[in-house]
Amino acid sequence: MKIRVILSPDAKVDISSAIEWYHRADPNLASRFEKETFTTLRQISQFPYRFQLINGAIRQALLKRFPYAIYYSLRSNKLTVTAVLHQRRSDTIWRTRRTGHI
């Protein structure tokens, strides 16, 4: 089954903001963050049930080298990423987003 990954507008902003933040600290770090984020997204699309189910249909995939989590849900062959957030941010953020994008 081919799974289509859809980044919500909020998730796109999350990724861009994190890349921008890391770029100010070190451009190489920003590049590594971006690469790891998209590697993790590929892993999610290949093995969507591998990652922890945390609330209802929402799953969480943790990045390995950065303190970020990708929040997503899967329905049929459509995987929707609702948030890409620093792990210290409130979980209220992805909880409020999920109703608008799923």
CATH for 31 = 3.30.2310.20
The conformational region for residue 4 under phi > 0 = left, psi -120 to 50 = alpha, else beta, is beta
Per the structure, the count of domains in the chain is: 1
**Which range marks the domain in which residue 86 is found?**
4-101
pTM: 0.87
Decide if pLDDT at 95 tops 90: no
pLDDT interval class at 101 (50, 70, 90): very low
Model pLDDT, residue 56: 84
Q: What is the per-residue pLDDT across 35-62, written as a single tens digit (0 to 9) for each? A: 999 999 999 999 999 999 998 889 999 9
Residue 7 is predicted with a pLDDT of: 95
pLDDT confidence band for 88 (50 / 70 / 90) = confident
- Residue 29, classed as helix, strand or coil, is helix
